């Protein structure tokens, strides 16, 4: 009888635990359902084509940056070593389910309310899964989110984070707690460092977690005695130092690795320094000098500093978790605008704080109505200030989007075309062509190239998807012509083509640079394929005896 009672208690306890997990279980199912069409997409997206091409080259022994290059930090290319687009998409789906779960539990630490946490996570899923911000594509930003949210979950279990949320902070020295706290901070920093090694703007996600220490100190500055303030400042500096140490570990490992394989200088040039050049090369679509200054690095820094100071000076009106969300939104918007390019996937980095911010706005609107009905004037004033600040940041974001001529991808067309495919209302060729104008040409050419068994190819122009689709390697280091032109690597490119003697060369018809030395070599040793393509010419080598 006692055993039966214990069993019933265990069942009831387990049932309660499962009930608590129901929201995140359903939300994870939603991620999976929304991403099913991702698995049906053709090889159409340029950046994904570059990632897969480089991943395939790495699998065949090429050295990243010295023998095959792009201008991003390395982790995205190693993730793309999964060989095929289908594998890459499956990896991305699993990654985003994990990331969504991590976001849910971190949001729960901020809100404490299941309803608010569920709402924030739902918004997060919508913006990271739908095509509006290219959420259907395994871009670097989505993988960065996974690393950042893992770091966030670990940080949320440290005294560093718990101190921040306390209203009356008391400094205690417990060596067991200090050791555990230190290990967690270093580990969290390690994951944030992996985020930076996936895409450089993630460095501003690191800055977000530095603000926890900053706000903990400033929020308690007038409450504590001078000696306690010194102790608190010292503690926060040490904790930020431990977090920074964790960040440096994977970065130092990556430097040692690339130096050891003879690609150290190239890693510095292409993986790290090129990002600064890339960020400053975009032409803004307006001429107003004040606006232009606002979009410079200095201008954005001044605006960001103003936001942080506003939150700091009016700290008694903002709860710590609200300070964190507002500062995260400001820093993430800064990160998304580093290059001022209106590319939708750049704003994926903004989605976590945007989801939290929208949840705060909805929550405060209901609170104002509730307190207004109860005639609680003081509470209404504080809530109104919170709502005004949150709405001001949201409106600022919308204005930025309008100024940059931001245009999200269509979601309705994406799912409608997929529905037509699975219900046989359109065929595969028609479906592929809805993604990109090159698809019909690419898939026809791929059949010819694959049948030849060729391992190398050269494409003069921008069509990296064809490398990935045919699983061929570029003859040289570059996957697209704009890198060849950017680095003035014309001579190097011709030498690589001559050395590899690829069976096929593709010349894009929209490539505006004639490249005379290359054209001379092409006309001497290659003939255009009999099959005519609308957007490029497929050239085949005259003499197969020298082919790879």
What is the DSSP pairing of strand 526-528 with strand 536-541? antiparallel
The verdict on 12 and 88 lying in the same domain is yes
Domain edge (last residue) among 379, 403, 427: 403
Say how far apart CA 505 and CA 496 lie, in whole Å.
13
In a domain, 87, yes or no: yes
Q: Is the domain of 328 the same as that of 222?
A: yes
What is the CB neighbour count within 10 angstroms for residue 339?
15
Instruction: Identify whether residues 454 and 353 lie together within a single domain.
Output: no
Instruction: For residue 347, tell me if it sits in a domain.
Output: yes
Note whether 376 and 474 are same-domain residues: no
User: What domain count does the chain have?
Assistant: 2
For residue 372, being part of any structural domain is answered with yes
- Judged by DSSP in three states, 522 sits in helix
Q: Is residue 66 part of a domain?
A: no
State how far the alpha carbon of 534 is from the alpha carbons of 244, 313, 417, 507, in Å: 53, 62, 23, 12
Q: From the centroid of its chain, how far is CA 95?
A: 12
Domain membership of residue 345 as a residue range? 2-40+71-403
> Is 421 inside any structural domain?
no
Residue 212 and residue 291 in one domain? yes
Contact 68, 263 (CB under 8 A): no
Residues 309 and 260 in one domain: yes
Q: What is the 3-state secondary structure (H, E, C) of 517-536?
A: HHHHHHHHHEEECCCCCCCE
* Block residue for tokens 């690795």: 257
**Residues 389 and 441 grouped into a single domain:** no
Which of the listed residues 355, 379, 403 is the one where a domain comes to its end?
Answer: 403
476 located within any domain: yes
Please name the residue that has the structure tokens 């593709």: 506
Is there a domain that residue 58 lies in? no
Domain closes at, from 356, 383, 403: 403
- Closest listed residue to residue 197, CA positions, set 152, 150, 253: 253
What's the predicted TM-score (pTM) here? 0.92
pLDDT in single tens digits along all 548 residues of the chain = 566 556 555 555 554 555 678 999 999 999 999 999 999 999 999 999 999 999 999 999 999 999 999 989 999 999 999 989 999 999 999 999 999 999 999 999 999 899 999 999 999 999 999 999 999 999 999 999 999 999 999 999 999 999 998 866 666 666 667 889 999 999 999 999 999 999 999 999 999 999 999 999 999 887 777 788 888 899 999 999 999 999 999 999 999 999 999 999 999 988 888 777 766 677 888 888 999 999 999 999 999 999 999 999 999 999 999 999 999 999 999 999 999 999 999 999 999 999 999 999 999 888 777 766 565 556 778 888 999 999 999 999 999 999 999 999 999 999 999 999 999 999 999 999 999 999 999 999 999 999 999 999 999 999 999 999 999 999 999 999 999 998 899 999 999 999 999 999 999 999 988 899 999 999 999 999 888 899 999 999 987 544 44
**Closest C-alpha to 347, from 406, 394, 387, 295:** 406
Beta bridge partners of 540: 504, 527
Q: How many helices (H) and strands (E) does the chain have?
A: 24, 5
Q: What gap in Å lies between CA 70 and CA 271, rounded to an integer?
A: 7
| Cβ atoms of 450 and 469 closer than 8 Å | no
Verify that 78 and 216 share a domain, yes or no. yes
């Amino acid at each position: 009888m006692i055993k039966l009672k214990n069993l019933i208690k265990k069942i009831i306890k387990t049932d309660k635990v499962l009930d608590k997990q129901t929201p995140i279980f359903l939300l994870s199912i939603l991620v999976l359902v929304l991403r099913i069409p991702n698995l049906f997409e053709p090889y159409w997206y340029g950046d994904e084509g570059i990632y897969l091409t480089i991943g395939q080259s790495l699998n065949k022994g090429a050295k990243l940056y010295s023998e095959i290059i792009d201008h991003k930090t390395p982790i995205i290319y190693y993730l793309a070593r999964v060989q095929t687009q289908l594998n890459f998409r499956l990896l991305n789906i699993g990654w985003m389910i994990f990331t969504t779960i991590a976001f849910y539990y971190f949001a729960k630490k901020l809100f404490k309310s299941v309803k608010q946490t569920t709402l924030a996570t739902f918004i997060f899923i919508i913006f990271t899964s739908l095509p509006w911000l290219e959420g259907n594509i395994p871009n670097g930003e989505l993988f960065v989110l996974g690393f950042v949210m893992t770091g966030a979950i670990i940080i949320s279990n440290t005294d560093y984070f718990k101190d921040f949320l306390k209203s009356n902070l008391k400094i205690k020295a417990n060596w067991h707690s200090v050791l555990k706290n230190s290990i967690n901070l270093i580990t969290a920093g390690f994951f944030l460092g992996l985020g930076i090694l996936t895409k450089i703007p993630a460095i501003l996600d690191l800055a977000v977690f530095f603000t926890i220490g900053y706000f903990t100190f400033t929020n308690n500055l007038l409450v504590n005695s001078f000696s306690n303030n010194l102790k608190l400042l010292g503690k926060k500096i040490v904790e930020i130092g431990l977090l920074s140490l964790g960040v440096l570990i994977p970065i130092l490992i990556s430097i040692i690795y690339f130096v050891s394989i003879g690609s150290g200088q190239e890693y510095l040039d292409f993986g790290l320094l090129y990002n600064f050049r890339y960020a400053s090369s975009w032409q803004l679509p307006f001429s107003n000098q004040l606006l232009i200054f606002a979009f410079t690095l200095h201008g954005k820094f001044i605006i960001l500093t103003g936001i942080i100071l506003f939150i700091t000076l009016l700290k008694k009106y903002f709860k710590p978790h609200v300070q964190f969300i507002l500062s995260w939104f400001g820093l993430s918007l800064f990160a998304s605008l580093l290059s001022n390019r209106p590319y939708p996937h750049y704003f994926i980095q903004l989605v976590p704080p945007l989801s939290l911010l929208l949840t705060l706005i909805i929550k405060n609107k209901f609170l104002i109505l509730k307190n207004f009905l109860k005639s609680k004037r003081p509470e209404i004033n504080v809530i109104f200030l919170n709502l005004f600040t949150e709405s001001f940041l949201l409106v600022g974001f919308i204005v930025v989007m309008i100024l940059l001529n931001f245009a999200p991808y269509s979601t309705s067309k994406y799912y409608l075309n997929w529905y037509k495919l699975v219900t046989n209302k359109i065929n595969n060729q028609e479906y592929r062509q809805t993604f990109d104008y090159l698809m019909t040409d690419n898939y026809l050419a791929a059949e010819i190239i694959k049948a030849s068994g060729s391992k190398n190819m050269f494409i003069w122009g921008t069509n990296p998807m064809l490398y990935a689709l045919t699983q061929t390697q570029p003859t040289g280091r570059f996957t697209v012509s704009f890198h060849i032109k950017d680095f003035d690597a014309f001579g190097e490119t011709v030498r690589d083509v001559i050395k590899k003697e690829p069976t096929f060369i593709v010349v894009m018809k929209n490539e505006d640079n004639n490249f005379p030395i290359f054209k001379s070599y092409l006309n001497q040793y290659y003939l255009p394929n009999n099959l005519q393509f609308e957007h490029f010419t497929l050239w085949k080598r005259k003499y197969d005896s020298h082919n790879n």
